[in-house]
């Protein structure tokens, strides 16, 4: 699963780079910024595989690890005096793609609840439904983390 997420994000990085180069209104970012993002993403899968065997800490979501890597590249880019700081929109576009999957899952989950319980939401304002969807996404993340921790603890017992 992590591989497909990383492949999708690598494609997104390429797309963002093309859009940035073609933009007439936004400063073109140094290619080294995109290369560094690609390098961090490509190394992430190997890094997570290595750490699975040796870690004693709680499991982390691949999406959280990817966000951390992108934030690290952003910070590194700001500090590097030799490379112009890339426009904020570049990192925002990549982070938005990372957030898309959980939000799609939340949207699908809320729709399923509405259908399963035959709820009429036609009079609820869309902003309120979006808030419900956001809360559902937060709750789902906590729920998934709890299950990941339980499975992780079981896997340690059966080594």
Enumerate the domain spans of the chain. 2-157
CA separation for the pair 23, 135 (Å, rounded): 36
Confidence (pLDDT) at 53: 47
Could you tell me the sign of the dihedral formed by the alpha carbons of 97, 98, 99, 100, in that order?
Answer: positive
CA separation for the pair 116, 8 (Å, rounded): 32
Confidence (pLDDT) at 3: 64
* CB-count burial class (<10 Å; 0-12, 13-18, 19+) for 123: exposed
CB-based contact 129:135 (threshold 8 Å): no
What whole-number percentage of the chain has pLDDT above 90?
A: 70
Range with lowest mean pLDDT among 31-35, 60-64, 73-77, 121-125: 60-64
CA separation for the pair 63, 39 (Å, rounded): 16
**The two three-digit tokens of residue 57, written as one number:** 């800490």
Confidence (pLDDT) at 2: 60
Confidence (pLDDT) at 59: 77
Judged against a pLDDT cut of 80, whether residue 62 lies above it is answered with yes
């Amino acid at each position: 699963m992590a591989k497909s997420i990383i492949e999708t994000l690598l494609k997104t990085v390429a797309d963002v780079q093309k859009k940035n180069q073609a933009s007439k209104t936004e400063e073109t970012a140094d290619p080294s910024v995109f290369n560094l993002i690609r390098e961090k993403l490509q190394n992430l899968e190997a890094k997570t595989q290595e750490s699975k065997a040796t870690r004693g800490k709680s499991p982390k979501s691949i999406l959280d690890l990817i966000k951390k890597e992108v934030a690290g590249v952003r910070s590194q880019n700001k500090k590097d005096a030799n490379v112009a700081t890339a426009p904020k929109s570049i990192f925002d576009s990549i982070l938005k793609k990372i957030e898309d999957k959980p939000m799609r899952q939340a949207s699908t989950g809320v729709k399923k609840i509405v259908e399963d319980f035959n709820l009429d939401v036609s009079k609820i304002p869309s902003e309120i439904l979006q808030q419900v969807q956001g809360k559902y996404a937060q709750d789902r993340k906590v729920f998934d983390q709890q299950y990941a921790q339980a499975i992780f603890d079981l896997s340690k017992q059966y080594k």
